[in-house]
Amino acid sequence: MKKKVVSLSLSVGLICSGMVGASAFADSSKSPQTKKFNQSTGTPDFVAGKLTSPSAKSAKDIVLDYLEKNKAEYKLGSQSAYNSFIVKSKEADQLGGEVVRLQQVYEGVPVWGSTQAARVDENGVLEAVSGLVAPDLDKKGLKSFAKSQTQKQAIETAESDLGFKPEYEQAPTSELVVYPTGDKAIYAYHVNLNFLSPEPGNYNYFIDASTGKVVNKFNAIDTAGSQPATLTGSNTTGTGVGVLGDTKSLKTLLSSGYYYLQDNTRGQGIFTYDGKNRTTLPGTLWKDLDNNLNATYDHAATDAHYYAGVTYDYYKNVFNRNSYDNAGAALKSTVHYSRNYNNAFWNGSQMVYGDGDGTTFIPLSGGLDVIGHELTHAVTERSSNLTYQNESGALNEAISDIFGTLVEFYDNRNPDFEIGEDIYTPNTAGDALRSMSDPTKYGDPDHYSKRYTGTSDNGGVHTNSGIINKAAYLISQGGTHYGVTVAGIGNTKLGAIFYRANTVYLTSSSNFSQARAALVQAAKDLYGATSAEVTTVNNAFDSVGVY
C-alpha cells in the first residue's frame, strides 16, 4: 500500500472511542430527537432537539444549567457542571443564536481531549450538545495522585526521549493536564517541542506527573506566530507564471521601487515569502522589479500568492468567513523551503511549501487543492480543533481534502476529486496522493470495515480519511456503494453541510460516528429534518459502514 503524506497539520489528541447508533425519541419541546452515547464511557456525546424551554439567560448559563441538570447522565459525580466546564469561546451562529465551546476541567485542571460544543437558538433554547465528557473523575484516584515531577523535569524528559537536539522556533512549553487512560486518569504534563530544524517538528509529549514516564507522544505541525510586518506603498496588480506554466493576475504592493507580494485587499493581508532554500521562517517578503513574475524561480511564489487569495475568497464569498480565524488574520506563505523538500504544511501561523525533488513532487504550491487543504487545517484549528490522531485526525484530514477539492471547483481550474494530482509524480500521468471518488486506487479504505487499526501515521490519519472522503464524494455526486444507493446533492450543499458541522458541532475528540451525527444535524438545520439532503447524508454514511 502506498503511503503518501502531503501535510502534517494541527494538534493531535487521544484515541476516540466507538459510538452506538442514534436513537429516535418523541418530538416534544423537552425530549431530544437524537441522542448518542459513547460506547466506552456510557455518557452522551451527541444530543440534539429542543433540549430546554425558551430562556432570557445567557447562552453560557443555559448550557451549564442543562449540564448540571443532567450531571448524573454525564457522570460528573460530586463535581458540579459549573465547576467542571469553562467556556473557551462564544460565536454567533449564522442561522441565529450562539455556539458555545467548552473545556472540561477537574479542580481547575484541563482534561485532555474533552471539549464540548453547544448550540443555543435565538429564543434561548438549547438545541444541541456534542463532545466527549470524561466520566467519574472523582473515582479515578486523582485526589491522591502525587505530583512529584516539575514542569522543567517534564521538558527534560521529553527532550531526552526526542533523541536529538533541535533548533527551537519557540521555547518548549509544559502544561499540567488530566490525562484519562481507560478506567483511570492521571495528572500529566503536556510538553510541546516546536522546531523547524533539522526537520520540521511539533512534538507533543505527555509525561506522567508522578513517575516521569512518557505515556503518549505524537508529532504534528502546530506553532503560534505573530502578524507580519506590513510595508506601506501603493496597491498594484501584477502578473506571474505559475508552476504549471499558466499566467495569473497578482495583487502586489509598490514600495520604494519594488513590487512586493503583499495583497492588502483581503483581510489583514496576504504575504508571500522566499525561503531561499533555508529552514527559517518566514523568510524574505518576495519582491520584484517589474511586477511580472515570469522567471522559473518565481513560479512557486506566483501560485502560493494567487491560490491563497482564491482560498480566502472561497471562504469569504461562500461562508462569509473572514480568513481562517474569521477575524481577518493575515495569510502568510513561504515557498522554496529547504532543498528538495517533498511536503507542504500549515504550522499554526502560516503555510510552508517545499520545491519537491522533481520526481516525487514539483513545487507543492502549484496545487490549488493542496493550498485549500492546508488553509482548511487552519479553519479546523480555530473551530472544531479536531485532534490529529486516530479517527478525529482522519476526520481532520478528510475535511481538508474535501475543502481543498471544493476550492478547486470554486476556481474552476481543471477541478476533480483527486488530491495533489497537479504536483505529485510529474512523470506519471494520472497519479495523485489520494482519491475521493475511489480511495482504494491509492491503497486507502472506502468502508469502515477496512479501516487501518495500527499506530503509524498517527493512527492512519492519511489512510482512514478515505472513508470520510468516499462518503463526501457520494453526498456530492451520488452513486451506489456496497449496495447502498445515494442521491447526490452537489458540491454547494456538500460544502455547506461539512462547514456547518465543523464550525458548530464537531469537537476535538469527534470520531466518525459522532461526525455522522453532526453532519446529519447540520443537514437538518440547513434543509429540514425530513429533507432529501438528510436522507443523502444518512445513506452515504450507511454505504461506508459508519453508524
**Could you give the residue numbers annotated as active site?**
374, 462
- Buried b or exposed e, range 490-502, using 16+ CB within 10 angstroms: ebebbbbbbbbbb
The string over 210-239, giving b where at least 16 C-beta atoms fall within 10 Å of a residue's C-beta and e elsewhere, is eeeebebbbbbbbbebeebebbebeeeebe
**C-alpha cell of 77?**
459525580
Count the alpha carbons within 13 Å of 467 in the hemisphere toward its beta carbon. Answer: 30
Question: Phi and psi (nearest 5°) for 456?
Answer: -70, 160
Other beta carbons within 10 Å of 503: 22
Are 308 and 329 a contacting pair, CB within 8 Å?
no
SS3 199: coil
Q: Which of 427, 417, 315, 298 is nearest to 366 (CA)?
A: 298
For residue 395, the surrounding DSSP H or E stretch is helix 390-411
Q: Give the C-alpha separation, 347 to 349, whole Å.
A: 6
Neighbours of 164 (CB within 10 A): 9
Contact 316, 328 (CB under 8 A): no
Residue 28 CB coordination number (10 Å): 10
Written in H, E and C, the secondary structure of 255-266 is ECCEEECEECCC
Sign of CA dihedral 276, 280, 284, 286: positive
| Cβ atoms 226, 271 nearer than 8 A | no
**Closest to 355 measured CA to CA, from 273, 297, 401, 283:** 297
Cα→Cα distances 456→3, 11, 105, 420, 497, Å: 10, 16, 30, 22, 30
Say how far apart CA 514 and CA 36 lie, in whole Å.
Answer: 8
Runs of H (alpha helix) within 249-333: 299-319
Q: What are phi and psi of 296, to 5 degrees?
A: -55, -40
Q: Hey, is 537 helix, strand or coil? A: helix
HEC readout, 444-506: CCCCHHHCCCCCHHHHHCCCCHHHHHHHHHHHHHCEEECCEEECCCCHHHHHHHHHHHHHHHC
Residue type for 384, please? Answer: S
User: To which residue does cell 486518569 refer?
Assistant: 185
